[in-house]
Structure 1
Amino acid sequence: MPIRPQFKWLYPLDWPQLSAVIRFERAKGRCETCGRPHGRQVRHLGDGRWFDEERKTWRCGRGRALPRLIAVESEAIRLTKVVLATAHLDHDPGNNRPRNLKALCQRCHMLHDREQHRRQRWLTLRMRKAIGDLFLGPYSP
């Protein structure tokens, strides 16, 4: 996930190198939560279950092998390219200790940041209403 320009100053100058160390040296190019490989197309069902090509098995959203998969229609299987990002576990971009950083795929990163995204949506909506009231009168969606 790209860093917003207004938050760039919160990250250290060597963030790209630090992020690469976490994602590719420590995590070996795999999500540290579910195990999805970076840069590969992965077949998945949209609910967290995905197919591990290397081990020829379906895995759950936490990366554990599933004993068997109930018959699934081929239309339900989606294809997604996995991109790893380095996440701050405590949501503080100034805390760059290795134990606070984790390599996560898009899905796991969004799940980890769910509450923060919910608060940001609420704040954005309130800001739009305030701007509308200030310049255009009452806001009507």
Structure 2
Amino acid sequence: MPMKRHLYPSNWDTIATIIKYMADWHCTKCGRPCRRPGQMWDVFCWELRHEGSKWCQETDKPGRFVLTVAHLDQNPGNNARENLKALCPTCHNRHDAKARAINRSHTRVVKLEDAGQFRIKGV
């Protein structure tokens, strides 16, 4: 799900970069190495192969090597260090799955309302 930027502080990019740096650009759940800002894809792949990384076989899927930062309590306003964790997209999706399932019906209604569908009270 795309990030709702308006829910995050204006310095979110700096906060996220610090969390990723502290994790040495690796997923803190599964250990997947991720590309650093500005790192060329071919250089990143070469480094994986050179290190004999188990992740080499997945280099045809660049999106799996992007590091994200998850809010453990699902609250983008809570940016305390202990509430933030560097995760690869797969682990981040697994972390968010339960909350997404709980909010799915509410999200569906909000999307319909945003598209112009009005809710009828009492029906």
Q: TM-score if structure 2 supplies the norm length?
A: 0.66
Equivalent in 86, 98, 103 of residue 103 of structure 1: 86
Equivalent in 17, 22, 31 of residue 20 of structure 1: 17
Equivalent residue number for residue 79 of structure 1 = 60
Q: What SS class does the counterpart of residue 87 from structure 1 fall into?
A: strand
Which residues in structure 2 correspond to 1:47-126 (within 5 Å)?
Answer: 53=49, 54-57=51-54, 79-81=60-62, 82-126=65-109
Structure 1 position 118, deviation (Å): 1.5
1:19–1:132 CA distance, 2 compared to 1 (3 A): same
Task: Give structure 1 regions of 4+ aligned residues with deviation exceeding 3 angstroms.
Answer: 55-58, 124-130
- Higher relative contact order, chain-length normalized (CA < 8 Å, sep 6+): 2
The count of corresponding residues between Structure 1 and Structure 2 is 104
Give me the whole-angstrom Cα distance separating, in 2, the residues matched to 1:34 and 1:100. 18
Alpha-carbon displacement from aligned partner over 1:3-59 (angstroms, at most 9, x marks no partner): 225xx1x322211101000012x1011111011111369xxxxxxxxxx7434447x
- Please identify which structure carries the higher strand content: 1
5+ long unaligned stretches in structure 2: 36-40, 43-47
1:56–1:21 CA distance, 2 compared to 1 (3 A): closer
Alpha-carbon displacement from aligned partner over 1:109-141 (angstroms, at most 9, x marks no partner): 00000012223332233453992776xxxxxxx
- Please identify which structure carries the higher helix content: 2
Q: Which has the larger radius of gyration?
A: 1
1:115–1:21 CA distance, 2 compared to 1 (3 A): same
5+ long unaligned stretches in structure 1: 42-51, 59-73, 135-141
Counterpart AA for 2:97? R
Equivalent residue number for residue 38 of structure 2 = none
Structure 1 position 100, deviation (Å): 0.9
The root-mean-square deviation of aligned C-alpha atoms, in Å, is 3.2
Equivalent residue number for residue 4 of structure 2 = 4
Q: What SS class does the counterpart of residue 60 from structure 2 fall into?
A: strand
Identity of aligned residues (%): 36
